[in-house]
Amino acid sequence: MSMNLILMKCPGCGASLELIPGNQTAVCDYCGNKFMVDSASSSNVSNPNPAPEMSVTENNATEISPYLEKKLKLYILKQFKKETGIKLDGDAMAMKRIIEACRKAIPELTNTGKSEINIPFITADGSGPKHVSLVVKAFDMKNQ
């Protein structure tokens, strides 16, 4: 028995969602938002163009933040190491500042799909102080 899937976009972050017809809820694998799906529009499988009506029923920051925070933190560490050659994961103060920046960036990232992260003087080496300065896009994090 083959299962028809309905493809949609998450209204929270824009990630692709796959909905099994008949399900009343959808959960975004990327941002963790939960949605109620209008059963009338989701049962219309013959026309894939109209997206089912979706409404946010739960957007609890304490529920979605740990996943996004970890993913964003790892992305920042990876980008910083790529740019400077310096690993920050052993520096407790740097990690604290990165986590704070992640928590500030997550709402903007989930609402607009991008966020600018600036952490001045995160560390220093023989050539001088180093800064984190990047624009993070939801697409970049999803594909890492």
What residue segments make up the domains of the chain, in order of their start? Answer: 6-58, 61-142
| pTM, to two decimals | 0.57
61-142 belongs to CATH 3.30.460.80: no
Order of all β-strands in the sheet with 25-27: 25-27, 34-37, 54-58
Q: Are 83 and 90 in contact (CB under 8 A)?
A: no
Residue 107 CB coordination number (10 Å) = 13
pLDDT value, residue 98: 95
pLDDT value, residue 100: 92
Show the low-confidence residues of the chain (pLDDT under 70).
1-6, 11-14, 20-21, 24, 30-31, 35-65, 142-144
C-alpha 40/C-alpha 5 separation (Å) is 15
Handedness of CA 44, 50, 56, 61 (dihedral sign): positive
Query: And the tokens for 48?
Result: 């894939």
Closest CA to 122 of 142, 96, 83, 143: 96
C-alpha 129/C-alpha 36 separation (Å) is 48
Q: Are 19 and 37 in contact (CB under 8 A)?
A: yes
Amino acid (one-letter) located at 88? L
pLDDT value, residue 51: 40
pLDDT value, residue 144: 63
pLDDT value, residue 80: 96
pLDDT value, residue 68: 81
